[in-house]
Structure 1
Amino acid sequence: MSTTVKKASHPPYKIASIPGDGIGPEVISAGITVLKKLASVLGTFDLQFDHFDWSSDYYKKHGRYIPEGGLDEIKKYDAIFFGSVGAPDVPDHISLWSLRLALVQPLQHYANVRPTRILRGITPPLTSVAHHPSSLDWVIIRENTEGEYAGQGGRTHLGQPWEIATEVAIFTRHGVERIMRFAFEVARGRKGKLCVVTKSNAQRSGLVLWDEVAREVGEREFPDVEWERMLVDAMTTRMVLQPESLDTIVATNLHADVLSDLAAALAGSIGIAPTSNLDPTRERPSLFEPIHGSAFEIVGKGVANPVGTFWTGAEMLRWLGEEKAAEGLMQCVENVLERGVRTRDLGGNAGTEEVTKEVCGEIERLLGHSERNRGREALESGEY
């Protein structure tokens, strides 16, 4: 008996694809291939990808990364799938501030969420974690719109011996309250444990406010969540030596930026790490990106690890409400890794295309089989 799986009845999710620079186009292409395969096999949702060529090449031609009216256009989408930004012949502060931060800040993506765990099939560098993979399972929440990356400061007396450069970290009660509230809510939904990272012993204004607001929010709104405060330097050693003692972590823009890269390395490779830049109000589209950067040293070699992009795609689906699809995708990715299909950064010899092909095949084998069974059951029950 042939079966037909019910197709999605709602309009497709509109996704703005911004591959950007370096390996961004390679991994975003791989991610879109896998997400389209997933949508096709499951038949429960559809995805429409529209591509934007905003990149360093665009900047070199037009003198800007985002064209006039571009931000208003992006706001029409359900989500943004972002590759990377940065090129050897464009200063990093120009590329970052002109594209990624030019999206994240005005779109109020104040919650940057970076999950870290040991995927099946990956051997992490820490022996203790390799023996007990479940001991490293974290979510690092990064305040994403102010703090050390607020963009405040400047330079005077350029070229003189008395030249001055200032970089002012901005902490507002509003900004700290909303990220703390978000972090406590995430912690409540996990193990009920939150670690607030700080450096208030040295940064005696902004991070003292950070600590005070954390305490106020925790005591007032989340008495059921166990929380603690830890200095960022001590946090680095704890992540390495006592990973099992951590669960949900919240830190400032700069501190979480650094700690999340360390977390990715401890989990096996920066090439597997996803990021969600969220507007928790859902008034504006959120932006999803792998954290590995443009990696120009491997551009065009076909060796970029697409797993971080696949995981990022899964997090995007979760945010859109497609939880089962996200779980299914990650199961397929881990099955492929467990079979030994891994890129060089994970100790394997597979290329981007091979990993992508294998994941697509696993989606068809694992999820297609499940959908066919459900379709058959639906036919027999008279649902169709």
Structure 2
Amino acid sequence: MSTYNIAVLPGDGIGPEVTKEAVKVLKALERLDSSISFTFTEFPWNSEYYLQHQQMMPEDGLEQLQSFDSILFGAIGDARVPDQISIWQLIMPIRKQFQQFVNFRPVKRLKGIESPLKNDKPIDFVIIRENGEGEYSNIGGSMFAGEDREMAVQNTIMTRKGVTQIAEFAYQYARENNYTKVTNATKSNAIIHTMTFWDRIVEEVAAKYSDIDYERYYIDAIAAYFVQRPEDFQVVLASNLFGDILSDLGSAIVGGLGFAPSGNINPTREYPSMFEAVHGSAPDIAGKNIANPIAQIWSAALMLEHFGRRDLYEEILAAIEAVLEEKQVQTPDMGGNATTEEMGDAIIRKLG
């Protein structure tokens, strides 16, 4: 039996509600499959913690998390705490310190879900986003506050190592999963320093994978193509900012953020990876028990795939699709009146 130690950070808003259902599904799998077990340790590091302690996690927070096999993260965000504090004192330190340089986001139209697009062709691709540097580098500053000469500078940092390792991951993933094409999302016609550098390094890596086609589109064009012909994409490789934007667009064309899982992955497994739904804390519906937990449950399934249990990943996804196809249990975002807990229970009933 394989036992995995999971750190659980439920976070803010609907985070605890959807994370509870994801943990419940994992515990149900544990009962059904004697080859796997979990231990869960919950950490109360969220905006409420910040208001009490003036920090999002303890000084040794990263040291506490480092020993776990993986992290299941809820959501973060509270109007009482500026976003730059909650993000840069919790999510970003985890991603950067644990070298989770891959942000992995599947874009898949599940059975039973209608796309807002007038297109019934399958939508099933992945966005592989560089997660450690790029546009989300905390380098820059501002001057002359309140004056007419006030200015701000935010620097984009790209390194040969950073671009190479994310491109290598994208191509290895494509090869291992029988994809035949990688699409590079860029803007090197206007961002002439960092994005031409990005293109050059990506194309150096692409040249080593002659069995996989390479294509390049500017970010504005690929955004349009996501809507016009999403069925053409397989593996989309993007920088930190571009991948973030494309991921939300991708979720929109397959039903919304309630169906948008993600993983922040350290491929070397030297540090734990972190899995979280793409949606935020949704404070407007927090505490009402109506949030759709599918994205968080799907994120937990991605965690199992990361552990090498593709079979359990597929089992959870099949259970989700079985519930969606029946259309008997639907949360309000799908036009129903089911609770968060009822959706979790329905998925569990379909397992196995």
- After TM superposition, the score normalised by the length of structure 2 is 0.98
**Residue 336 of structure 2 aligns with which residue?**
348
2:268 to 271, 274, 281: 281
Counterpart-to-counterpart distance in 2, 1:345 and 1:235:
27
**Residue 5 of structure 1 aligns with which residue?**
none
List aligned pairs for 1:214-229, cutoff 5 A.
214-219=202-207, 221-229=208-216
**Any idea what SS the aligned residue of 2:36 has?**
coil
Larger radius of gyration: 1
Counterpart-to-counterpart distance in 2, 1:164 and 1:204:
22
Matched, 1:19 2:10: yes
Matched, 1:307 2:294: yes
Matched, 1:33 2:24: yes
- After TM superposition, the score normalised by the length of structure 1 is 0.90
What CA deviation, in whole Å up to 9, does each residue of 1:48-91 have, x standing for no partner? 11000010000110011120211011010000000011111111
**Residue 303 of structure 2 aligns with which residue?**
316
Contact preservation (8 Å) 1:269, 1:346: no
Counterpart-to-counterpart distance in 1, 2:227 and 2:320:
26
Counterpart-to-counterpart distance in 1, 2:63 and 2:268:
18
Counterpart-to-counterpart distance in 2, 1:359 and 1:246:
29
Q: Residue type of the partner of 1:284?
A: Y
Matched, 1:90 2:90: no
List aligned pairs for 1:125-140, cutoff 5 A.
125-128=116-119, 131-132=120-121, 134=122, 136-140=123-127
**Residue 381 of structure 1 aligns with which residue?**
none
1:71 to 59, 62, 65: 62
List aligned pairs for 1:254-265, cutoff 5 A.
254-265=241-252
Contact preservation (8 Å) 1:180, 1:214: yes
**Any idea what SS the aligned residue of 2:225 has?**
helix
**Residue 347 of structure 2 aligns with which residue?**
359
Matched, 1:243 2:234: no
**Residue 124 of structure 1 aligns with which residue?**
115
**Any idea what SS the aligned residue of 1:160 has?**
coil
Counterpart-to-counterpart distance in 1, 2:29 and 2:326:
20
Counterpart-to-counterpart distance in 1, 2:137 and 2:234:
27
**Residue 272 of structure 1 aligns with which residue?**
259
Counterpart-to-counterpart distance in 2, 1:305 and 1:256:
23
**Off by >4 Å, runs of 4+ in structure 1:** none
Q: Which runs of 5+ in 1 are unaligned?
A: 1-8, 368-384
Counterpart-to-counterpart distance in 2, 1:233 and 1:151:
25
**Residue 130 of structure 2 aligns with which residue?**
143
Q: Residue type of the partner of 2:183?
A: C
More helix by share: 1
Q: Residue type of the partner of 2:45?
A: W
Counterpart-to-counterpart distance in 1, 2:12 and 2:279:
12
Segment drifting more, 276-285 vs 181-190: 181-190
Counterpart-to-counterpart distance in 1, 2:19 and 2:174:
30
Q: Percent identity?
A: 41
Q: Which runs of 5+ in 2 are unaligned?
A: none
Counterpart-to-counterpart distance in 1, 2:338 and 2:326:
12
Counterpart-to-counterpart distance in 1, 2:308 and 2:227:
34
Q: Residue type of the partner of 2:274?
A: L
What CA deviation, in whole Å up to 9, does each residue of 1:229-266 have, x standing for no partner? 10000001101001121110010100010000000010
Counterpart-to-counterpart distance in 2, 1:348 and 1:200:
45
Q: What number of residue pairs does the alignment pair up?
A: 350
